[in-house]
Amino acid sequence: MGPVPHALARLQTLALITAVAIFSTVAAISLATGAWAGGVTVLGAGPAMKPSCPDVNERCIVEARVTGFQTHLGNTKKPFVARTPSRIVAWSIKLGRPTAKDNKCLSDGCTVGSKKFAGFGGPARARVAVLKPIRSKIKAGKPVYELVRQSPTEELTPFFGTTTTFTLGRPLGIKKGQIVALTIPTWAPMFVFGLNSDYAWRASRAPTKKRGGCTVGTPPNQGANVKAGSPHQAVGKTRRYACVYKTNRLLYSATMVPRPGGGK
Task: Assess whether pLDDT exceeds 60 at residue 197.
Answer: yes
Other Cβ atoms closer than 10 A to 33: 8
Residue 52: CA count within 13 A, CB half-sphere:
26
- pLDDT tier for residue 114 given thresholds of 50, 70 and 90: confident
Pairwise CA distance, residues 221 & 37, whole Å: 53
**R_g of the chain, CA atoms, integer Å:** 18
What type of residue is 37?
A: A
In terms of average pLDDT, the best of 20-29, 120-129, 254-263 is 120-129
CB 35 within 8 A of CB 87: no
Task: Assess whether pLDDT exceeds 80 at residue 9.
Answer: no
Pairwise CA distance, residues 142 & 242, whole Å: 8
> What is this structure's pTM?
0.84
Q: State pLDDT tens for residues 212-241.
A: 778 755 444 445 556 667 899 999 999 999
Q: State pLDDT tens for residues 125-165.
A: 999 999 999 999 999 999 999 999 999 999 999 999 999 99
Q: State pLDDT tens for residues 178-194.
A: 999 999 999 999 999 99
- pLDDT tier for residue 208 given thresholds of 50, 70 and 90: confident
Find the mean pLDDT for residues 50-74.
93
Find the mean pLDDT for residues 235-263.
91
